[in-house]
Amino acid sequence: MPPLTVDDLQFFLRTPGLLDHLLEQHIDDGGGYCKACPGPQSGRHRWPCQIRGIAEQAEKLRDTALQDNTG
């Protein structure tokens, strides 16, 4: 899992609803695979997928940023 950069985070935060959309779409299909990712020909991507991981990182950073800005 590549670390999330500040540019990545700003991209997510500049696009209202994108982060929530990704977190809604990239979910476990019940069998350990991502519902949203098309995956390779032989099957779907394992879940949590890379996009899910990045979205979760962004969500944590967003929450942290919001808390830091309360002062």
Distance separating alpha carbons of residues 49 and 32, to the nearest angstrom: 10
Interface map 43-62 toward Zn ion (x if CB under 5 A): ------x-x-----------
- Please say which residue, 9 or 26, places its beta carbon nearer to Zn ion: 26
Q: Residues touching Zn ion: how many (CB under 5 A)?
A: 6
Smallest distance, Å, CB 68 to Zn ion? 29
Can you tell me the distance from the alpha carbon of 69 to that of 21, in angstroms, rounded to the nearest whole number?
24
Q: By CB under 5 A, what part of segment 3-42 binds Zn ion?
A: 26, 34, 36-37
Residue length of the chain: 71
For 25, the enclosing helix (H) or strand (E) is helix 18-25
Give the residues across from 46 on adjacent strands. 33
Binding site for Zn ion (CB under 5 A): 26, 34, 36-37, 49, 51
